Structures are given as C-alpha cells and as structure tokens.
Amino acid sequence: MAPDTPALEAARLRKVYRRGAEDIVAVDDVSLTIRRGEFVSFIGPSGSGKTTLINILGCLDNATAGSLKIGGRTVFSEDICLSETALTRIRREVFGYIFQKFYLVPTLTVRENVLLPFAFFRKAEARTNPMEILAFLGLDRRIDHRPAELSGGEMQRVAIARALVNKPEILLADEPTGNLDSRTSDEIMTIFKDLNDKKHISIVMVTHEMDIGMCAKRRIHMKDGLIVREEVNA
C-alpha cells in the first residue's frame, strides 16, 4: 500500500435489514475516508448504526448498497464483489478485531490464546513475536495463566495481543471497554494511544461512551444510521 493511499474509503454505504414487513435502515448513505495511521472513533447510542458500519468496514458484514475500498483495492461496488476466499484473506492480513466480549478459550493459556490465529494463518513473515506483544501489554508474567485466573483488564489485553500477532494494518475495536470499570478502561485507552502513536497502527473504534470516544484523534458521531458531525484534534 502506498503511504498516501487511504486505509479505508467508503462511498454511500447503506445497510437495510428486513424485519417482518418493515425495512430497518441501519446505515444510511455513509461516505468517509480513514487515512493510514489515524485513530478514529464512532460515537453514538445503541441503535445508531455504528457497529453495523464498523462490521461493513471490516468485511464482517455486507452492505446493501455503496462501495468500499481497502488500501486502494475495491472490495465491493455496483460492479465488483470479491469472493469469500478473497474476503477471508483481507480479514486475516489487514484487520485485527477486538470486541466487547473477550472470546478467549477458557482451556488455553494466555500464550496459547494469543497464538490461536496461527492455527488458521500460516504466513510466517506476517507473524509478530508474541512475547514482544505480551511484554508491551504487561502480560509477560501471565503467559501460563488461563482466562479464569485473569482480571477483566488482563483478559482484554490478551484479546488485544491476539489481534496484533499477524501485524494488522487496521485494528477494529467494537465497544472494547464495555465490560470494564473506568480505571481499567483508561488503561486500555492508554494502550490504544500507544499502539497508534508508537506502532503507527490505524485504529477504528466504536463506543457509546463519550469520554472513551474522545480519546481518539478524530471522532465521528452517529445517529439513526447517519453521520451527524465530526471532530478532529487540532
């Protein structure tokens, strides 16, 4: 990807769900560009369309209409729709995913949970040293512990480490502090800022918490499937 190529480019994205005889418009004519190295948050109440939008941007869901480019490559448009095999490759090579639920395997240790993506993705040159990541996240002394032996903040840091092992270009985080107390939430946001400032990873985050969303350098506010305003740090 050329340095000036946007990480994500979306044009007139629309997502409509059918519920009985009613059409539910979750995302309504959204266009945006996210540059490489940005830290962007989507802020809005439940039902505002922010999670649906980030799922479309991360190739976890399909749009009803519109187009999406990732690193300058068209993923879908009126004329183009990549195969599921190609989309799977993009998910593995471009994105790291972090969710509100940690989705850790309870029978595996911290180290084994972090290494789990390697069971599905064997491109050796894309791998990062897991111990380097665990040390960066303050988990190097917890590698042999299982999830039940960890705090909520530690479990989320394991989930972050797992999302980083394949050197993603873009980190997608959906309500990453939703299950955490305020002090631990602040710690996770400090990690995100460090990943963005020091590792230059693009971060796209969804949250309904205004103070968490304000940690991003660019904030996109959503309501009823629409972008209603944007804010950018000076």
Q: How many CB atoms lie within 10 A of CB 23?
A: 10
Q: What's the fold here for domain 8-232?
A: Rossmann fold (3.40.50)
pTM: 0.91
Residue 71: count other Cβ atoms within 10 Å of its Cβ.
18
Q: pLDDT tens digits, residue range 76-103?
A: 998 888 999 999 999 988 999 999 889 9
Instruction: Quickly state the pLDDT bin for 29 (edges 50, 70, 90).
Output: very high
Task: Give pLDDT tens digits for 192-210.
Answer: 999 999 989 999 999 999 9
Nearest in space to 148 (alpha carbons), one of 134, 133, 138, 158: 158
Domain ranges of the chain: 8-232
